[in-house]
Amino acid sequence: MIGRDVLSILTGDPLSPAIRAYQLGRLAEARALIEAQGRDAGMTGTVEFYLRQIARRLSPLPPGRPVVLWREGARAVGNAGWIGDVLRGIAAAECAESELAEPSRLIVIDHLLSPEKQLWYREAYLAGHDIMLVHAGNDAMDEDCGAYRWCRHVFRTHWSPLLVGSAQVHFLPRGVPDGFAHPGDAKPAGARRYLWGFAGDPDRPTRPAMLAAMASLSLAIRHLTPEQDALPAGAYRAMLDDCVVAPCPSGAAALDTARVYEALEAGCIPIVERREGFDYFREALGRHPMLTVADWADAPRLIAELRKSGKLETKRAQCHGWWRHYKGNMAARVTALAMG
């Protein structure tokens, strides 16, 4: 709703005085102005939204810790275990939609959002539930985000430049598959058999260029197969445990893929892509130590410089340490927003 608020003020929309009062915290004044607008022009979706927002702000949050609700196949997404780990210790229990009764704090995990699904969120909001949504998936950026307006906070597993200005929307890395994370320290560079490794379908947009560029670097392991013949998670983790560097080319559409976080989890040095005017991982994760290339032809030079300076292990340890620190801060932030 941020874009709508600004547009109202700039264009002299009849709601602009009410929205200005709302932004300044004069909630009783804003409610009276919006109610008058509703009587004069009808109860539009925007009028209804702001009236409900004001009512929610003037009412206490539902008591108790949040409960977790997994919706419509969300457990089938590859990072369900990762999401569950992030939420562990925050939620009191899990529940089914049929068990929702009294207004409560909800953490809803959902994917494949659509205009039809928005109706459920609206009804839950109007019933008094306080919703924090974890929107899993949507790497093609093609899902309907209308449900966001009915949620106090939203965590997306794919960062979007269109939503970066919203205090309501946050980024949650997509993480690793179930069973992939291992406790303890990762092996140092000197104990790893391969300089670099890659497993996956070579028939993706930038993977041929990556493979051609990296071919000049020896001590490599490659497992190039169609997606249906991919390595099991345990075998892939074992492969990464023996690689210092893990090139992470884009997926079919998005720059962000699970292999980035798998590489970090295994203590490798990921090499990620950026596009002209679009440094996705810097925008999504902030300052990070991963290697970034706009052209895969630059990757061998970056690795050669690390080897020549004797800093290959320093960079590897830096990436792994940064990721562990990031995960700790992320869990603390999710907890604070869920319980706030």
- Nearest alpha-carbon partner for 245 in 280, 285, 293: 293
Q: What is the pLDDT of residue 12?
A: 54
The confidence score (pLDDT) of residue 46 equals 78
* Residue 15 CA: distances (Å) to CA of 6, 164, 202, 316: 11, 25, 54, 54
pLDDT for the residue 79: 77
What is the pLDDT, as a whole number, of residue 230? 86
Q: For residue 213, which amino acid is it? A: A
pLDDT score for 4: 46
Backbone dihedral angles phi then psi of residue 301, each to the nearest 5 degrees = -65, -45
The C-alpha atoms of residue 189 and residue 317 are separated, in whole angstroms, by 9
Take residue 42 and report the two structure tokens written for it.
Answer: 């009808």
- Residues paired with residue 199 on neighbouring β-strands, in sequence order: 223
Enumerate helices (H) and strands (E) in the chain, giving the number of each: 12, 11
Nearest to 70 by CA among 80, 82, 62, 85: 80
Q: What is the pLDDT of residue 317?
A: 97
Q: What backbone phi and psi angles, to 5 degrees, belong to 53?
A: -65, -45
pLDDT recorded at residue 1? 41
Q: Compute CA 211 distance to the chain's CA centroid, rounded to the nearest angstrom.
A: 28
The answer to whether residues 68 and 85 touch, using CB atoms and an 8 Å cutoff, is no
- Tally the residues of the chain: 340
Q: What is the pLDDT of residue 9?
A: 39
Residue type, 285: L
Per-residue pLDDT of the chain (340 residues; tens, 9 = 90+): 444 444 443 345 677 888 888 888 899 998 999 898 888 877 677 788 788 888 878 877 777 789 899 987 788 777 788 888 888 878 778 888 888 878 888 999 999 999 999 999 999 988 889 999 999 987 888 899 999 989 989 999 999 998 887 878 999 998 898 888 888 889 999 999 999 999 999 999 999 999 999 999 999 999 999 887 889 989 999 999 999 999 999 988 899 999 999 999 999 999 999 999 999 999 999 999 999 999 999 999 999 999 999 999 999 999 999 999 999 899 889 988 888 7
- The pLDDT value recorded for residue 3 is 43
Radius of gyration, alpha carbons of the chain = 23
pLDDT of residue 7: 42
- Measure the CA–CA gap between 280 and 260, rounded to whole angstroms: 12
Residue 69 burial (C-beta neighbours within 10 Å; 0-12, 13-18, 19+): buried
SS (H, E, C) 212-273: HHHCCCCCEEEEECCHHHCCCHHHHHHHHHCEEEEEECCCCCCCCCHHHHHHHHCCCEEEEE
Residue type, 270: P
pTM value? Answer: 0.84
What's residue 41's pLDDT?
75
Provide CB contacts within 8 A for 55, sequence distance 6+.
Answer: none
Q: For residue 169, what pLDDT is reported?
A: 92
Give the pLDDT score at 5. Answer: 44
